[in-house]
Structure 1
């Protein structure tokens, strides 16, 4: 085997090193946090990570799971109360819809119904505060329960 002198070996290594093409590119900073121009899809991940690492809890904070009613009796009472209120509101709506023009007072509420130009205007006034609401709708025509009826 032929022996290569160390000087020529060094020269070949240097020539091979400088003979290769060197490539480089600019360093580009890309922010991660969306508050500073980063990708907005990172926000949930960053918030989750921050909350997971948060060791300081608010002593006055209310756990949202404590607000859920789990007592079946109270759930039944609430469902019955909601159903009753819905039924009363429906009956009141039908009564107002079927009533003719005029002024009606129920407790601390005044209801004024007037018909003009094919429209029924219902003005509801809270007599205690003076707050008013105004509802304008077409006058119902036809027979209740049939198409085109009220």
Structure 2
């Protein structure tokens, strides 16, 4: 009786070993050697999970009138600073020599 149990266990173990197989890792991502047909599935899955939205630029949210006001302010400030700088520099003569000028 004991020999039949040992014989049965031996055949069972050999039978299990006969049906086993080697496990091989294959990546899913095509960029790392996976199947190229997985690309569209992975892209659609990532897109559906993406909760981030692109931040809108403040310029896109402004109306035409607000943009016009900004442009006018920028031009006026530029003209004023240019005029002030020219008035400050007139008293110094020519600038053929090297040196520095501190404004403000």
Using the size of structure 1 for normalisation, the TM-score is: 0.31
Which has the larger strand fraction? Answer: 1
Structure number having the greater helix percentage: 2
